[in-house]
Amino acid sequence: MMVLLAILVVFLFFFVRVAYETVTCYWVIPRRIRRIMEKQGVCGPKPRFLTGNILDMASLVSKSTSKDMDSIHHDIVGRLLPHFLVWSKLYGKRFIYWNGIEPRMCITETELIKELLSRYSTKAGKSWLQQQGSKHFIGRGLLMANGDDWHHQRHISYAGYMVDCTEGMLRSLKSAMESGQTEFEIGEHMSRLTADIISKTEFDCSYEKGKQIFHLLTVLQNRCAQASRHLCLPGSRFFPSKYNREIKSLKTEVERLLLEIIQSRKDCVEVGRSNSFGNDLLGMLLNEMRDKRGISGGFSLNQQLIMDEIKTFFFAGHDTTALLLTWTVMLLASNPTWQDKVRAEVREVCGSNRGAPSVDQLPKLTLLNMVINESLRLYPPASVLPRMAFEDIKLGDLHIPKGLSIWIPVLAIHHSEELWGKDVNEFNPERFSSKSFAPGRFIPFAAGPRNCVGQGFAIMEAKIILAMLISRFSFVISENYRHAPVVVLTIKPKYGVQIRLTPLSY
């Protein structure tokens, strides 16, 4: 009887504690934040009970993306962020809206954005709800890390892998053309190419297993994208729903394959066949962790951290680069004058190297760099950039309370006529001929100390692939192309990008 009573007391204690924390998290704190911001004049649309403004946003996006665009133009803010346009007209440059029970402040003032991303880089990061939506996909790797967990990122250069893999893709395209094919969905080829590069970069000798992991992570990414459209209630991730079962199954299979690769590397070192875990990304992470542990004696491998880092770099190095390449090819295929300019530059810089630039030649491709920046401006990888305040901060004239999420609408800022001029929705790489534009208005990879871990890797990869492609082929947009950008975590072409290729003699 005493044991049962003790169990009952413990159960009641935990029940009361969970209930208190739930009410505090889901009701008390959000309402407190709302009152603080309203006193400073920051208001927004009225939230519904529990769902906030989710249904309003879903309805607006569903309506705006229900039809394809009638021509290739780049005025896409109203299509992808219709709720931002509606609410910014009603409430101004700063307003509060609700993602379920989470209050989010949207800001577009470049000075505030610059201050947030640089001055408060360690005091603002991903919120719990944002991490919930992607933790099965990339876990707590560099992309989702907060504070000191993030600082050990390293820049890795694999130009040789990039050139070799690109040569393979170009041979494949030429072979298909010799068989009579003239139209290609370039997004598929870019996705496969960047997957080959990142698989080789991360796993090298485990390349085939890396390709299996790539496929599973791609499926997992699409499933995790659904999380942003659902209300996340306490304990909902434990419900045995079809969605949760599928997510768990995919995550388990990805981590099983990763553990097999990690274990095989450990075995080689332990039996003395190698004194290193390898020169690829996985090997570098394992070597670095062994060296750090070795100082205090012994080697304790944090396998979950390693797996999260691998998944993070995979996402940063594959998905964003494939989309950058796809959108850039679409823009160049639609603008033959700029395509000719870039081709002439590549041939001048690379000489007889068949368009394959060396690392030293990459900075000299200034026109190509301008085109890539304009592509990132018009079609940034992410439409929004989220941060949550981990403590009270002073941002410009605003007091930001702990727990408030701040959302930066990157796409809207990149398409702001006030910031970029009347030709804001036109493809004009000349605007990047100098770096005189105001800080905070061009942020495709965020900014400040916590900018995207894959930025340098992605830009180098994009330059090499585009230089080689444009020197071997000319291309125009196909009459079958349907312009319909959509958001699935990142901004994607709904039906891919169809182009017609013509081989060139170099």
Residues contributing to the annotated binding site:
452
Q: Determine the Cα–Cα distance for residues 412 and 421; give it in Å rounded to an integer.
A: 13
Annotated binding site for heme: 452
Report which secondary-structure segment, H or E, holds 30: helix 29-39
Region for 63 from its dihedrals, namely left if φ exceeds 0, alpha if ψ lies in -120 to 50, beta otherwise: alpha
Report which secondary-structure segment, H or E, holds 268: helix 242-270
**Alpha-carbon dihedral angle through residues 185, 191, 194, 200, given to the nearest 10 degrees:** -120
CA dihedral sign, ordered 336, 342, 348, 350: negative
Q: Determine the Cα–Cα distance for residues 411 and 316; give it in Å rounded to an integer.
A: 18
Instruction: Please provide the DSSP assignment of 371-437 as one string.
Output: HHHHHHHHS-S-S-EEEEESS-EEETTEEE-TT-EEEE-HHHHHT-HHHH-TTTTS--GGGGSSS-S
Q: Determine the Cα–Cα distance for residues 452 and 164; give it in Å rounded to an integer.
A: 26
CA dihedral sign, ordered 423, 428, 431, 432: positive
10 Å Cβ neighbour count for 81?
25
Side-chain-side CA neighbours of residue 57 (13 Å): 19
Q: Determine the Cα–Cα distance for residues 458 and 319; give it in Å rounded to an integer.
A: 10
Which phi and psi (to 5°) does residue 355 adopt?
80, 5
Q: Determine the Cα–Cα distance for residues 146 and 329; give it in Å rounded to an integer.
A: 35
Chain-centroid distance, C-alpha 272: 39
Encoded tokens for 40: 């400073």
| Contact predicate 282/313, CB 8 Å | no
Which phi and psi (to 5°) does residue 493 adopt?
-80, 125
* DSSP three-state, residue 114: helix
Give exposure, 182-212, as e/b (b: 16+ Cβ within 10 Å). eebbbbebbbbbbbbbbbbbbbbbbeebbee
Which phi and psi (to 5°) does residue 106 adopt?
-95, 130
What is the amino acid identity at position 177? Answer: M
